[in-house]
């Protein structure tokens, strides 16, 4: 482990949503290793307790589980109120929680659109609003949103998901412009095909087929995305805002 003075996020207070598995779990671990005080968001009460305690001890920092559904306004508000009470500041927000429901155009229901946008867009907007309440008076902060390569390029069978991630990209650019005068940076990561969560469900054979379309010849690892998030959250990216950082190994989509 790097010494405290070398750790990129030493002492920074970070809230990461959707940390129970996959990319979010890798972010929780990577942020802790880099010295951040991590508020790790997840929906299921108690699901992170043991892992967070062990990670905090191992990384000599604090990893605090905070349980809420990002679509529950009261729950999200309570999470931010807790951070305000316990830390009085927030340096980093990572909007990672998201859902992906595939459907061809003729089968995209209104409910599917509503559900996808509730998690991937509306909750992100609300979290940005709350984070800005901390960061504007601080005159500093970094917000990292999880977009997707399909939000940039589109993808057959993903009308709802790609539209939601396109909205995340637009929100990122707008928030970056509005918050830049306050010293707050807002960026997004657009992962390609990452070997995590929903992508694992397609099976090994299809995964190999997809991997063959990637310039670097392999699926991305959750840690690849987490490392990009650390960079954007850290002072190394002090003059980087409004950017959509592809983490995709030169995938062809």
Partner 1 sequence: MTNSEKYDNAVMAIFEVGADELLTVAYQSIAKWDSVGHMRLMAEIEGAFGILLDTEDIVGFSSYETGKKILRKYGVEL
Distance in Å from the first CA to the final CA of the chain: 37
Give the separation between CA 212 and CA 226, rounded to whole angstroms: 23
Q: Which among 31-39, 80-88, 108-116, 142-150 is the span making contact with partner 1, rule CB under 8 A?
A: 80-88
Q: Within 124-153, which residues bind partner 1 (CB under 8 A)?
A: 126, 129-130, 133, 136-137
**Is the distance from CB of 184 to CB of 137 less than 8 angstroms?**
no
Q: Which of the following is catalytic: 39, 67, 130, 161?
A: 161
Q: Which among 15-23, 73-81, 203-211, 217-225 is the span making contact with partner 1, rule CB under 8 A?
A: 73-81
Binding mask 88-127 for partner 1 (x = CB under 8 A): --------------------------------------x-
- In the bound state with partner 1, the residue whose beta carbon lies nearer, of 55 and 123, is 123
- In the bound state with partner 1, the residue whose beta carbon lies nearer, of 133 and 177, is 133
What is the smallest separation between the CB atom of 137 and partner 1, expressed in angstroms? 5
- In the bound state with partner 1, the residue whose beta carbon lies nearer, of 34 and 95, is 95
What is the smallest separation between the CB atom of 136 and partner 1, expressed in angstroms? 6
What is the smallest separation between the CB atom of 62 and partner 1, expressed in angstroms? 21
Catalytic residues: 161
Where does this chain bind partner 1 (CB under 8 A)?
Answer: 73, 77, 80-81, 84-85, 126, 129-130, 133, 136-137
């Amino acid at each position: 482990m790097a010494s405290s003075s070398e750790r990129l996020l030493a002492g920074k207070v970070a809230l990461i949503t959707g940390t129970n598995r996959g990319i979010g779990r890798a972010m929780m671990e990577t942020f802790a290793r880099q010295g951040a005080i991590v508020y790790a968001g997840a929906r299921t009460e108690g699901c992170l307790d043991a892992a967070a305690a062990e990670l905090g001890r191992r990384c000599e920092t604090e990893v605090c589980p905070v349980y809420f559904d990002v679509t529950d306004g009261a729950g999200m508000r309570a999470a931010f109120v807790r951070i305000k009470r316990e830390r009085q500041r927030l340096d980093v927000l990572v909007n990672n929680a998201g859902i992906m429901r595939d459907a061809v155009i003729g089968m995209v229901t209104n409910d599917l659109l509503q559900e996808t946008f509730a998690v991937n867009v509306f909750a992100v907007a609300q979290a940005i609003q709350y984070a800005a309440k901390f960061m504007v008076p601080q005159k500093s902060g970094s917000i990292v949103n999880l977009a997707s390569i399909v939000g940039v390029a589109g993808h057959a069978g993903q009308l709802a998901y790609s539209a939601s991630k396109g909205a995340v990209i637009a929100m990122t650019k707008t928030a970056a412009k509005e918050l830049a005068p306050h010293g707050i940076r807002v960026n997004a990561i657009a992962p390609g095909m990452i070997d995590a969560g929903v992508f694992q469900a397609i099976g090994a054979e299809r995964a190999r087929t997809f991997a063959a379309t990637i310039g670097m010849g392999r699926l991305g690892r959750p840690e690849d995305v987490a490392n990009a998030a650390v960079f954007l959250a850290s002072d190394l990216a002090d003059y980087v805002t409004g950017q959509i950082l592809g983490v995709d190994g030169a995938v062809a989509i």
